[in-house]
Copies of this chain bind each other. A is one copy, B any other.
Amino acid sequence: KKIVTLAGDGIGPEIMAAGLEVLAAVAPKINFDYTVDAQHFGGAAIDVEGHPLPEATLATAKEADAILLAAIGGPQYNEAAVRPEQGLLALRKALGLFANIRPVQIFEALKHLSPLKPEIIEGVDFVVVRELTGGIYFGEHTLNDRSARDINDYTYEEIERIIKIAFEIARGRGKKVTSVDKQNVLATSKLWRIVAEDVAKEYPDVILEHALVDSLAMKMITNPSDFDVIVTENLFGDILSDESSVLPGTLGVMPSASHAANGPSLYEPIHGSAPDIAGLGIANPISMILSVAMMLRESFEATAGAQYIENAVNKTLLEGVLTKDLGGTASLSEMTAAIIANL
């Protein structure tokens, strides 16, 4: 299996190395054969090739069986002609990565880090499904001196395929989909709600509920354990999936997956490149390591491998091996070694 890695910027290279170490350690246990092809991406690619998504990177990524991305961006690229984030948006679009999946769960050992009271986060376990290649992100953008315009477009098919993903995931879990829109204002949200109702007919075993985005922004904090699968459009998903990441009390343990209709999926931590601690060897590699686990499960049906990793992470945290961001003193390499030892 061909894995393309995009280490990117800031702490990206260090956490990518940690993720690959864990993959190397688990692979023999599950008879998983693979090659790794590292490519320039993000700021690192701007430095070398003047563009965040070089042609060779894209061509190689297209041929991959799965892609691992660590993190991109940094203050030195703020004035770049094409910024690292634009490379990410272009990569999503070029690979057709329309379905972004973010599991939100609470690690027993990290509960105390949450800004929320323990009784509120008790039992939190949901997935945010975000549409990733449509909507206002990819509509026409017009910037003039005295005015600006963005266009928000959705087609029935674009909505249908992401809603279906949500229902499929819900079918394998708590059998409830919460579809989020702003139906009392937006035409795209009116269409969204119609499509959600249409798709729901094919899944009589799954409950569909609708929520307005403003209301959901509250309920996510006041009643986070009410949710199973939350599905929404690109911009709302950007906001709500980041909001959901406050529940575990740290961005440092949250992986994500992005899937296309055809072609490779991409796996990445939800956090950024943390330029302030880059190169210090103190970054928390867990989001990256759990992204490797997601890759094993979702791209390679290597459920056992995913579970080995997830259990090892859990055990390591319970043993009190914690990086600085989690309130501990373990270095990146100590944390990685402990996880490998617990595999």
* Residues in chain A within 8 A of chain B (CB atoms): 83, 85, 89, 115-117, 120, 136-137, 141-143, 145-157, 182, 184-188, 190-191, 213-215, 217-218, 221-222, 235-236, 238-243, 245-246
Chain B residues positioned under 8 Å from A116 (CB to CB)? 115-117, 221
> Closest residue to A119 on the B side, CB-wise?
B115
Separation of A149 and B153 alpha carbons in the complex (Å): 5
Q: Which of B83, B89, B186, B191 makes the CB contact (< 8 A) with A147?
A: B191
For the complex of A and B, 9 pairs with smallest distance between CB atoms: A141-B187, A148-B191, A214-B242, A217-B243, A143-B187, A148-B187, A150-B152, A148-B188, A146-B156
Separation of A140 and B115 alpha carbons in the complex (Å): 40
> Closest residue to A154 on the B side, CB-wise?
B148
Chain B residues positioned under 8 Å from A136 (CB to CB)? 136, 150, 152, 185-186
Chain B residues positioned under 8 Å from A213 (CB to CB)? 238-239
Contact, CB under 8 Å: A215 / B242: yes
Q: Which of B120, B137, B218 makes the CB contact (< 8 A) with A185?
A: B137
Contact, CB under 8 Å: B143 / A191: yes
A113 CB to nearest chain B CB (Å): 10
Separation of A185 and B221 alpha carbons in the complex (Å): 26
Chain B residues positioned under 8 Å from A145 (CB to CB)? 156
> Closest residue to A246 on the B side, CB-wise?
B221
Contact, CB under 8 Å: B115 / A221: yes
Q: Which of B151, B191, B217, B241 makes the CB contact (< 8 A) with A240?
A: B217
What are 13 A-B pairs at a CB distance below 8 A?
A115-B221, A136-B136, A141-B187, A142-B187, A145-B156, A148-B153, A149-B151, A149-B188, A182-B238, A218-B243, A218-B246, A221-B243, A221-B246
Q: Which of B85, B142, B154, B243 makes the CB contact (< 8 A) with A184?
A: B85
Chain B residues positioned under 8 Å from A221 (CB to CB)? 115-116, 221, 243, 246
Separation of A155 and B241 alpha carbons in the complex (Å): 29
